[in-house]
Amino acid sequence: MWNTFLAFVITVLLEYFVSNGPEPSSECRILPQDDNWPKKNIWESFNRSVDGRLIRTIPIGTPCHQENFDLEKCQYVQDSWHEPELHLASASSMMDFIFANKSCDPFTAKTDQCIVGTYVQYAVNVSEVEHVFKTIEFVKQHNIRFVVRNTGHDFMGRSTGTGAVSVWMHHLQDMEWFENYTSSTYSGPAVKVQAGIMGYQISEEAEKRGLVVVVGECPTVGFAGGYLQGGGHSFITSSYGLAADQTLSFEVITMDRKLVIASPTENEDLYWALSGGGGGTYGIVWSVTVKAFLDLGATSAYLSFTSDGLSRDEWWSILSAWNRGTPNLTDTGIWISSNYNLEHFSFAPLFAPNHSIGSVMSLLAPLIHLLDDEFKVSYNFNIEHHDKTPVSSQEMDNKISGFQMGGRILPRSLWDSDESFEAFMGVVKVILEGGVHSIWDVAMRPTMEVAGHPNNAVHPAWRNAERMFNPTL
């Protein structure tokens, strides 16, 4: 009786709010199917205003479908689909394919759809500040969604948007080095990079100068955009902090069409927000200046083995021992990318700035002893010292996996007691035995002390982090 009455009340309330609720917001962005979507002549006028740099999206999977089918071109797209270079050259394609929502999938039947779908509708290939100004003016005038894009190396879907116009920053490639950048908060080497620069480009130039910069592990990660503005972890994060901790100054375009400086002494609130508060939120970064550090060399190591010949309990003993021991590594400035499931384990790489081979081997001794002496595991292991820190492209697999990740920042407090650590491992067991592909696990320690006590918008959880924990499907 009570359940029947409750259902009746809920139904009446829903009907009331539906019939008496507010009208749909007029602020909703328009879409290509709407009557007030700009006509062809308006787009042509806009194109002239940005010096002919407007690009209408034609999905790169187009040669694989319908009347546009071209066997040779389609084969090239399919063969290159997991190579970042294919998507880097596009003003619209994304490296995380799920956000394309199969709008124009090169692997579906040639009779299947090929539409713009969730790709941006248009992109402006930016080369001048005025191009961004004009784009902002246009999207505001016509109430069109606005997106900032660089490389498409984006696993949150933020560099695309249905019906959007994007500013494509990828060809802004200026880079300027300072031997002794001096401000009220810092004195030392630094580099100023425009928004299109990728991490590997900075590392290559830094290497020539005997320097290192906190950049993304994957070489195709754009530096000044969502990476740095969202925090930005790196091979050298356990030694120097996050990318956002290194910012000295921004040139940023605001939505009222102004190019301003944001630094610790000028537009301080904007500087604070851009340094870790989230990309594409507070403005369009035109350039950023960041700290560089003397290159002290590094040791890198790679280890892999399988569960062949091991019982399930033995496998869990090894995974538990590995996970329990990583704080001993990260506390010395080491960064580790590991991947494991019920059949395979690897770290590729373990990266140890300012460490010798001997010091890394000493830290890995408990794990090596476990594999050699207790469980007699056959494994592949390689360790190498580098007088100069390698460019990220030399250390990381640059392929696009296509797997979907769901991540958490794990606090160091999980390692404070046996009880909390065993609870963590219990969750790992449930996840792996539940059928996920694997866990990609990045161990690092970007504490306030390591980062130099910066005042910025980096999420506080990073300061007590031990892991970025990413189950993959």
Q: How far apart are the first and last CA of the chain?
A: 45
Q: What are the φ and ψ backbone dihedral angles of 210, each rounded to 5 degrees?
A: 70, 30
What is the rounded distance in angstroms from the CA atom of residue 60 to the CA atom of residue 78? 10
17 pLDDT higher than 50: no
pLDDT of 220 reads 87
pLDDT single digits (tens) 291-348: 999 999 999 999 999 999 999 999 999 999 999 999 999 999 999 999 999 999 999 9
Q: Give start-end residues of each CATH 3.30.465.10 domain in the chain.
A: 175-294
- Residue (of 163, 167, 166) closest to 38 by Cα position: 163
Report the relative pairing of strands 211-212 and 258-262 from DSSP bridges: unpaired
Residue for token pair 């569960």: 307
Beta strands in 241-312 (DSSP E): 247-254, 258-262, 284-291, 293-294, 298-306
Average predicted confidence (pLDDT) for the chain: 93
What is the rounded distance in angstroms from the CA atom of residue 126 to the CA atom of residue 147? 13
Q: Give start-end residues of each CATH 3.30.43 domain in the chain.
A: 40-168
pLDDT of 11 reads 41
What is the rounded distance in angstroms from the CA atom of residue 453 to the CA atom of residue 468? 21
pLDDT single digits (tens) 102-135: 999 999 999 999 999 999 999 999 999 999 999 9
Q: Give start-end residues of each CATH 3.40.462.20 domain in the chain.
A: 298-387+401-472
Contacts of 449 (CB under 8 A, 6+ apart): none
What is the rounded distance in angstroms from the CA atom of residue 400 to the CA atom of residue 83? 6
pLDDT single digits (tens) 131-148: 999 999 999 999 999 999
**What would the two tokens of residue 419 be?**
């009880």
Query: Are the C-beta atoms of residues 99 and 143 closer than 8 Å to each other?
Result: no
What count of other Cβ atoms lies within 10 Å of the Cβ of residue 447?
Answer: 17
Give CATH for domain 40-168: 3.30.43
What is the rounded distance in angstroms from the CA atom of residue 379 to the CA atom of residue 166? 47
pLDDT range class, residue 396, cuts 50, 70, 90: low
Architecture, CATH, for domain 175-294: 2-Layer Sandwich (3.30)
Contacts of 132 (CB under 8 A, 6+ apart): 124, 126, 167, 253, 284, 286
For the domain made up of 298-387+401-472, the CATH class stated in words is alpha beta
24 pLDDT higher than 60: no
